[in-house]
Amino acid sequence: MSVLPQVAKLGGMALNLLFPQWCIGCGREGDVICYSCRSSLPRVMPPLCPRCGRPQPSGILCPSCVSWQAEIDGIRSPFRFDGVMRQAILQLKYRNLRALDAPLAQLLNDYLITNPVPGEVLVPVPLHRKRLRERGYNQSSLLARKLGTLINLPVVDDCLIRQRSAPPQARTSSVEERQRNVADAFACCNQRLRDKQVLLIDDVSTSGATLDACAAALKAAGATSVWGLALAREI
Ligand SMILES: [Zn+2]
Ligand SMILES: [Zn+2]
């Protein structure tokens, strides 16, 4: 009978809607991230390096950006990859807790209201198609779609592709290693982003090497500017 898979599917949807009913930070019943956990999320505080967006006392280019031949025009992140934000991103990424995409996109939206970042089209950092098949979804696409609805910007997620899967990056690998690992990993497969100001969306950024490699591919395909907005930053 073909009815059973349908019922199972409905059950899954209902579970997705009902679960989780508890705050991922403190376990309180109600929101996925409760008000109190939301207000104590680890924020990246200005002054920032104008390029990489890391805290930098005088607000000038930080030492690593001075020598960085970057393609990306700038990177901004509302939060540090720490505490409840770290848990939220890991759950969105690996535990299929899709109930988190809306509240997390809302946090990006709130950030952009006070910290505008250039962009007329949102492009999620793509996964390699093999990884996409394994995981079933791209967490950055989920964020970009919800954010696009909130700020009324189009999302283009079929132009930039990841043609090589990067080896897992050890926390200890150097910036140069990370850059080598992702160089030429991305390409644009059509001209849809020509003459566009692109805002790349990612869940978490470490060295910025991935966002920069995306920016190189987008600019080679004619994008006029490329900024990166990562929900969280490893600092
Ligand atoms: Zn909480
Ligand atoms: Zn910097």
Lowest average pLDDT, out of 7-11, 36-40, 164-168, 179-183, goes to 7-11
Question: Would the pLDDT of 1 be above 50?
Answer: no
Closest ligand to residue 59's CA: 2
What ranges make up the beta strands (E) of 24-99?
74-76, 79-80
205 C-beta neighbours (distance < 10 Å), count: 26
Closest ligand to residue 28's CA: 1
Lowest average pLDDT, out of 7-16, 23-32, 47-56, 166-175, goes to 7-16
Closest ligand to residue 87's CA: 1
- What's this model's pTM, rounded to 2 decimal places? 0.88
3-state secondary structure of 75: strand
Closest ligand to residue 50's CA: 2
Pair of tokens at residue 100: 């988190």
Task: Give the CB-side neighbour count of residue 222, counting CA atoms within 13 A.
Answer: 9
As a whole number of angstroms, the distance between CA 197 and CA 225 comes to: 5
Residue with tokens 């090589």: 164
Q: What is the CA radius of gyration of the chain?
A: 18
| Mean pLDDT, all residues of the chain | 89
Question: Would the pLDDT of 170 be above 70?
Answer: no
Contacts of 90 (CB under 8 A, 6+ apart): none
Q: Average of pLDDT values for 162-172?
A: 69
Pair of tokens at residue 74: 């700038």
pLDDT at 19: 55
H or E stretch covering 122:
strand 121-124
Cα(36) to ligand 1 centroid in Å equals 6
Cα(235) to ligand 2 centroid in Å equals 11
pLDDT at 18: 56
Residue 51 is classified by DSSP as T
3-state secondary structure of 67: coil
Cα(32) to ligand 1 centroid in Å equals 8
Question: Would the pLDDT of 15 be above 80?
Answer: no
Q: Average of pLDDT values for 140-145?
A: 97
As a whole number of angstroms, the distance between CA 219 and CA 235 comes to: 27
Cα(52) to ligand 2 centroid in Å equals 4
Which tops the pLDDT comparison, 171 or 180?
Answer: 180
Contacts of 52 (CB under 8 A, 6+ apart): 62, 64, 65, 68, 74, 75, 208
Q: 197 forms bridges with which residues in the sheet?
A: 225
3-state secondary structure of 108: helix
Residues lining ligand 2 (ion), CB within 5 A?
A: 49, 51-52, 62, 65
Question: Would the pLDDT of 202 be above 60?
Answer: yes
3-state secondary structure of 54: coil
171 C-beta neighbours (distance < 10 Å), count: 6
Cα(84) to ligand 1 centroid in Å equals 8
As a whole number of angstroms, the distance between CA 129 and CA 177 comes to: 23
Cα(177) to ligand 2 centroid in Å equals 18
36 C-beta neighbours (distance < 10 Å), count: 12
Q: What is the pLDDT of residues 85-104, one digit of tens each?
A: 999 999 998 887 778 999 99
8 Å CB contact between 121 and 80: no
Pair of tokens at residue 178: 């990370």
